[in-house]
Amino acid sequence: MPNVTFEQRFQEAFDGGLSDIKFFVRREGVVTPDALMEDALAFQEAIVSGNVKQVDGVD
DSSP state of 3: T
Instruction: Name the packing angle between helices 6-15 and 33-49 (round to 10°).
Output: 60
Angstrom CA distances, 55 to 6, 12, 43, 58, stand at 25, 26, 15, 7
At 16-46, the pLDDT tens digits run 888 887 777 777 788 888 988 888 888 888 8
At residue 58, the pLDDT reads 66
> pLDDT: is 50 or 12 the higher one?
50
pLDDT for res 1: 52
Question: Quick one: pLDDT band at residue 59, thresholds 50, 70, 90?
Answer: low
Per the document, the length of the chain is: 59
